[in-house]
């Protein structure tokens, strides 16, 4: 079932219209008689956004990423690359 509401009606009674959407109604939002948006029930049962993520496992503390063990110092090359464009 589709129901047309104006932007003003939607603003004035948003909770009721969202309850209608929860009941399976699709709402077409009209502005000056022209459809500008559509609100409808989710097409999936995915409740991914309905839950907050789990808290982090703990502080990173002194954790450092593993060394790349390049065998050479990249800093002079980075400085030279930077200086090329100055």
Residue 59 vs residue 10, higher pLDDT: 10
24: domain CATH number? Answer: 3.40.1620
**CA–CA distance from 51 to each of 41, 56, 81 (Å)?**
18, 15, 46
Residue 11 maps to a domain: yes
For residues 30 and 2, give the distance between their C-alpha atoms in angstroms, rounded to a whole number: 12
Give strand ranges (E) for the chain. Answer: 2-6, 26-31, 34-39
Residue bearing tokens 């995915």? 46
- The reported pLDDT for the residue numbered 20 is 94
- The reported pLDDT for the residue numbered 69 is 85
Q: For the chain, what is the domain count?
A: 1
- Report pLDDT digits (tens) over 16-72: 999 999 999 999 999 999 999 999 988 776 666 667 777 777 777 787 888 888 888
- Report pLDDT digits (tens) over 62-78: 878 888 888 889 999 99
Residue 23 maps to a domain: yes
Instruction: Kindly report the pTM of this predicted structure.
Output: 0.51
Residue 68 maps to a domain: no
Residue 60 maps to a domain: no
Residue 48 maps to a domain: no
Residue 55 vs residue 4, higher pLDDT: 4
The whole domain housing 35 covers 1-42
Residue 35 maps to a domain: yes
């Amino acid at each position: 079932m589709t129901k047309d509401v104006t932007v003003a009606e939607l603003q004035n009674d948003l909770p009721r219209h969202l309850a209608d959407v929860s009941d399976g109604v699709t709402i077409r939002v009209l502005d000056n008689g022209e459809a500008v948006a559509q609100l409808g029930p989710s097409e999936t049962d995915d409740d991914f956004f309905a839950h907050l993520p789990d808290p982090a496992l703990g502080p990173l503390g002194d954790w450092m990423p593993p060394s790349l063990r390049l065998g050479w110092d990249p800093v002079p090359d980075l400085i030279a690359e930077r200086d090329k464009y100055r």
